[in-house]
Amino acid sequence: MTQTDMTDPLLQEITGPTPGQMLRKRVFGHQGLLIGSIVVGLLLLVAIFAPLLAPHDPYAQSLMTRMNPPVFLGGSWDHPLGTDHLGRDYLSRLIYGARVSLMIGLIAALISGVIGTAMGVAAGYFGGRVDMVVTFLINVRLAMPVVLVALAVVAILGGSLQVVIMVLGFLLWDRFAVVMRASTLQVRGREYVAAARAIGASTPRVILSEIMPNIANNLIVVVTLEMAHAILLEAALSFLGLGVQPPTPSWGLMVSEGKNMMLFEPWMVLIPGAVLFVLVLAINLMGDGLRDVTAPENRS
């Protein structure tokens, strides 16, 4: 009778956890990813259910109760985070501001993702002239300072939510293009791509069902990074008065409106600043975590 050797690696692979179980284990074992996802998830819920959560109308002005301090600085529970310079409820404006930030982050990342991925994959897959053109376009784009171009365009077209989303969407595709091109170059020579070609699959089919699934993990990471980038840029533009226009609640605008009173009422800048910081940090943690979890070297 031979005893089964439990240390045999082959056997371990057969009887060990399935890839799904392993992925779950990696996900739940990654603190950054967990914390980031929870925070982003919570803020998403806040943004979606803003009308239910906000204690007041974020646009309701009451000049008689201007700049009431938040509860922890001696304010009342009627306005837990105080009121702004026009007597509007700070908490309600923060909650509605989450909508603006997340919407800009998501849509801008989506637009730039579509543009960047299309260009990157095309360049990586076809190579040659296509690659030359795309690389040239990427270089052109990298040579333009994003904030400056965004400022100029918004100054000409006028600031509004739509304009800011479009400007950021059309400016932030460079990282998508670079990463997707490199990833496509890596997988296009693989056996399964060759096999798909050999059985006569069309080019779109090869790209969509053979290449895309294998580079999707990189795409997700870039999406999260660019979302954070877009949210910060929106805040910067709004702070400079060229982003979302009042009375729309936006965190960047709130920081800008509180700036004048910074010496005496620092909470007016600190509260929206802190929320912005937490959101961007959470998105970055999530992106980092996703990279760690999905990176091939961590799979085994």
Which residues sit at the interface with another protein, rule CB under 8 A?
A: 59, 61, 63-64, 66-67, 85-87, 158, 160, 241, 245-247, 257, 259-264
Chain centroid to CA 210: 26
Minimum CB distance to another protein smaller for 12 or for 260: 260
Tokens of 168: 């950021």
Minimum CB distance to another protein smaller for 186 or for 245: 245
Shortest CB 63 distance to another protein, Å? 4
Tokens 């637009």, located at residue: 111
How many Å apart are CA 205 and CA 196, to the nearest integer?
9
Minimum CB distance to another protein smaller for 62 or for 284: 62
Tokens of 162: 């739509």
Minimum CB distance to another protein smaller for 205 or for 259: 259
Minimum CB distance to another protein smaller for 180 or for 268: 268
How many Å apart are CA 231 and CA 218, to the nearest integer?
20
Minimum CB distance to another protein smaller for 163 or for 193: 163
Shortest CB 95 distance to another protein, Å? 19
Minimum CB distance to another protein smaller for 135 or for 160: 160
Shortest CB 129 distance to another protein, Å? 45
Minimum CB distance to another protein smaller for 67 or for 109: 67
Shortest CB 266 distance to another protein, Å? 11
Shortest CB 160 distance to another protein, Å? 8
